[in-house]
């Protein structure tokens, strides 16, 4: 389905697309158990390394925000 509209003097073309319900069902089937299965296959050392990287990434983002806020007048 195609809709035409005007927003701030610019013509916009918006296409809407319906999802295939069978594809949605398959995605939910695999997606709902993906993380749990992956976690079960990882060793404790691997899970620890992944968690460590996640923490370092979060702290790096926080430090970057703090530096940028200090530079702002």
* Residue boundaries of the structural domains of the chain: 2-71
| Exposure class string for 26-49: b at 16+ Cβ within 10 A, else e | eeeeeeeeeeeeeeeeeeeeeeee
Residue 3: pLDDT over 70: no
The pLDDT of residue 26: 80
Binning pLDDT at 50, 70 and 90, where does residue 57 land?
very high
Mean pLDDT of 32-45: 85
The pLDDT of residue 25: 82
Contact between 21 and 8 under an 8 Å Cβ cutoff? The reply is: no
Of 30-34, 39-43, 55-59, which range is least confident?
30-34
- The alpha helices in 1-73, defined as continuous H runs, are 21-41, 44-71
Residue 4, token pair as written in the block = 């035409």
> What secondary structure, in 3-state letters, does 12-28 show?
EEEECCCCCHHHHHHHH
């Amino acid at each position: 389905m195609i809709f035409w509209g005007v927003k701030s003097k610019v013509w916009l073309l918006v296409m809407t697309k319906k999802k295939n319900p069978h594809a949605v069902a398959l995605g939910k089937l695999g997606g709902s158990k993906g993380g749990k299965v992956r976690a079960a296959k990882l060793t404790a050392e691997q899970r620890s390394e992944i968690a460590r990287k996640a923490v370092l990434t979060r702290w790096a983002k926080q430090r970057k925000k703090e530096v940028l806020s200090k530079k702002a007048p």
